[in-house]
Structure 1
Amino acid sequence: MPTVYRSKVDVWLFVVLAFAALASLYSAGQTMLSNTPGAILIASLVAAVGFGLPAWLLLSTRYTLEASRLLAQSGPFKWVVPLADIKSITPSNNPLSSPALSLDRLRIDYGKGRMLLISPRDKERFLSDIEAARRAAS
């Protein structure tokens, strides 16, 4: 049975994403008031991207542990890590772009030089569960 772990969210990142979303909605509203041709289309695009993407990232970033793989999802992006390919999992605060909404991260090294940074809310439970799944899979 798959287990889903939500991403931990740093307050500063939440504030940045919320500000970006609200600024986009304000801009879309101002564009609509301009009464220029195409204003509705432009405002809709600005709102969809500027509000939609940050909201999608905040609401969808999660990690699903299945019997043989880890699936990381963040908005429209997905990563699949076969459990058998994991070489190590170590703590990290690397700020590289990743499916993580916190700098309190885990670095997963897998495959041939591949790496994924994630930030499950309950790191201890995640680590315990992934180790148990790796043992069961081998």
Structure 2
Amino acid sequence: MKGSVPGRVYKSGISRGLVLFLTVVLGGVALLMAYEQIWPGLGLVLAAAGFIAHVLVTTRYTIAGDSLRIESGVLYTATLAIGSIRRIAETNSVFSSPAASFDRLEIAYGRYDTVLISPREKADFIAHLQALNPAIEVVYNAK
């Protein structure tokens, strides 16, 4: 592996459809709670909306040295050795993951492990990882 590529933070893309869905659902419930004057319920909905917004804007992927650090809010943090990454495949999977967009990459690492992520600048992200580990197989449009 080459070690000359500097570290970089890649922010997650955010799907408009996901934001629209969450806005409609949480906004609808918030309006209902306000209309029915259920103030504790409205407070909970607003707190949930704030937490979800925090997760969406803080999801990021940092490549530094020989590691990939994945962070999504305060609930998910993982660090992968870039040398353990075997494959990166494009996917639109809707499974839960540290990704704020449905335009995702599935990273296969270790023996059987995978994680779904959604860097906004996918091509740069993949090129950066391949510069550090040229053995990474990249599969495009594996939808």
Scaled by the length of structure 2, what TM-score is found?
0.75
> What RMSD, in angstroms, separates the aligned Cα atoms of the two structures?
2.1
Cα distance 1:24–1:66, how it changes in 2: closer, same or farther (>3 A)?
A: farther
Q: Matched residue of 2:88: which SS?
A: strand
Of 45, 55, 58, the residue aligned with 1:57 is 55
What is aligned with 2:67? 69
Hey, what's the Cα distance between the residues in 1 that align with 2:128 and 2:52? Answer: 29
User: Hey, what's the Cα distance between the residues in 1 that align with 2:77 and 2:29?
Assistant: 25
Instruction: Indicate conservation of the 8 Å contact 1:8/1:121, yes or no.
Output: yes
What residue is the counterpart of 2:27 in the other structure?
A: 22
Give the Cα–Cα distance (whole angstroms) in 1 for the partners of residues 26 and 64 of structure 2.
33
Amino acid at match of 1:72: I
**Pair 1:27–1:2, CA change in 2 (3 A):** farther
TM-score by length of 1: 0.77
* CA distances 1:81-106 after superposition (whole Å, capped 9, x unpaired): 11121111121122211111222211
- In the alignment, the residues of structure 1 paired with residue 57 and residue 38 of structure 2 have an alpha-carbon distance, to the nearest angstrom, of 27
Letter in 2 for 1:17: L
Gaps (5+ residues) in structure 1? 33-38
Structure 2 portions without partners, runs of 5+? 1-5, 135-143
Alignment CA distance shift 1:45-1:115 (3 Å)? same
Cα distance in 1, alignment partners of residues 33 and 8 from structure 2: 39
Contact in 2 for aligned 1:103/1:119 (Cα 8 Å): yes
Q: Which has the higher contact order (CA 8 A, sep 6+)?
A: 2
1:47 deviates by 2.6
Q: CA deviation at 1:26?
A: 3.9
> Which residue pairs with 1:119 in the alignment?
118
Aligned to 1:36: none
Superposed counterparts of 1:96-107, under 5 Å: 96-107=95-106
Measured in 2, the distance between the counterparts of 1:127 and 1:52 equals 31
Q: Give the helix-richer structure, 1 or 2.
A: 1
Are the structure 2 counterparts of residues 24 and 63 from structure 1 closer, same or farther at C-alpha, using a change threshold of 3 Å?
farther
